[in-house]
Amino acid sequence: MLQDNFGRRFYYLRLSITDVCNFRCTYCLPDGYQCDNDRDFLKLAEIKRIATGFASLGTEKIRITGGEPSLRKDLPEIIQACKQTDGIKTVALTSNGYKLEQHLPIWADAGLDALNISIDSLDPRQFNAITGQDKLDTILSGIDNGLAAGFNNIKINTVLMREHNAHDLNTFFNYVKDKPVSLRFIELMQTGDNKEFYQQQHVSGQHIKNQLLANGWMPTIRNKTAGPAEVYAHPNYQGTIGLIMPYAKDFCNTCNRLRVSSLGKLHLCLFADEGLSLREQIQNDDVAALQRRIVSLLDNKQATHFLKDGFTGATKHLSMLGG
């Protein structure tokens, strides 16, 4: 079992398979994707070895992220490889939804268990302004089609921004009234490239939490492979509301996840100083060597991300590691 020096256990791997994204979100890639590396992304065989190595150390859930993972043509094969790894119980995907309408059935057939879609506004014009893509209606249609087909483990990620969506929370609440999806509000995080935007747009999730509790929403039980959201349910709503508040006190105490970048580097935290290469250990099927490398690197994991101190580490933008 992977356990750090603070007693935290790690059941959950976030695996990036590309840092390329075709959206231009204002808080992440306002100028679009800029290639600043050799783009030697993980190959399928390397992904299989990573999945096997982590699973043998107790990992039960793999979330495939990007950039935008659907830009890789072999995404179904990657999903299938992760799902067929002994010990992996859940394979999830985080996507901007660009290919959702056509590809969700293919992903589900490959073994996908859960899906997160990023939607920062339910107003088509505002969505276009945030992302640079006029795709909201198509994405919402893809979600509806998935629900109708019985794919019910769908979450929507919404980054809170003062000027873009914080004034229109009721639209989001109304959306989950009759849809069995979990909508999670994520506090905007400062990264290396967005300091000014962060200072202008950051909104705390605490006032939403207070609003939920005052209106009969109740916290749900968090399982060991769950993400960092505090999730609330209401008897009159089919869906749930989650809050991810990385600036909250003790946020890091329940950390249960590690990250591997699309270049094969282990990131002990989204805001770590650097990625620690696993590339040498995934060139062959020596799982024991990979295990030893992962376990030895885990000694470097810090107690907290130090975000409150303005520390952003090596993370220039969220597309690097999929958040």
Lowest-confidence pick of 56-60, 131-135, 196-200, 315-319: 315-319
Closest CA to 29 of 124, 122, 159: 159
CATH of 12-320, one of 3.20.20.70, 3.40.50.150, 3.40.50.1470, 3.30.465.10: 3.20.20.70
* Paired tokens of 258: 């590690």
d(CA 161, CA 168): 11
Provide the pLDDT for residue 93: 98
DSSP per-residue codes, 173-204: HHHTSSS--EEEEEE----TT-HHHHHHH---
pLDDT band at 114 (very low <50, low <70, confident <90, very high): very high
* Paired tokens of 294: 């992962």
Between the ranges 4-8, 188-192, 195-199, 305-309, where is the mean pLDDT highest? Answer: 4-8
pLDDT band at 176 (very low <50, low <70, confident <90, very high): very high
Q: Phi-psi region for residue 124, left (φ > 0), alpha (ψ -120 to 50) or beta? A: alpha
**Dihedral sign (CA 267, 65, 88, 221):** positive
Q: Residue 315 above 70 pLDDT? A: no
Provide the pLDDT for residue 88: 98
d(CA 88, CA 54): 9
| Residues linked to residue 185 through DSSP beta bridges, in sequence order | 158, 243
Provide the pLDDT for residue 191: 83
Provide the pLDDT for residue 193: 79
Residue found by looking up tokens 């992220």 in the block: 65
Q: Phi-psi region for residue 150, left (φ > 0), alpha (ψ -120 to 50) or beta? A: left
| Residue ranges per structural domain of the chain | 12-320
d(CA 227, CA 255): 8
Q: Are 181 and 201 within 8 A, CB to CB?
A: no
d(CA 133, CA 250): 36
Provide the pLDDT for residue 322: 64
Q: Phi-psi region for residue 170, left (φ > 0), alpha (ψ -120 to 50) or beta? A: alpha
Give the tens place of pLDDT for each residue, 201-235: 999 999 999 999 999 999 999 888 888 999 999 99
d(CA 309, CA 9): 25
Give the tens place of pLDDT for each residue, 27-80: 888 888 877 667 799 999 999 999 999 999 999 999 999 999 999 999 999 999
Q: What's the number of CA atoms in the CB half-sphere (13 Å) around residue 123?
A: 12
Q: Is 300 helix (H, G, I), strand (E, B) or coil?
A: coil
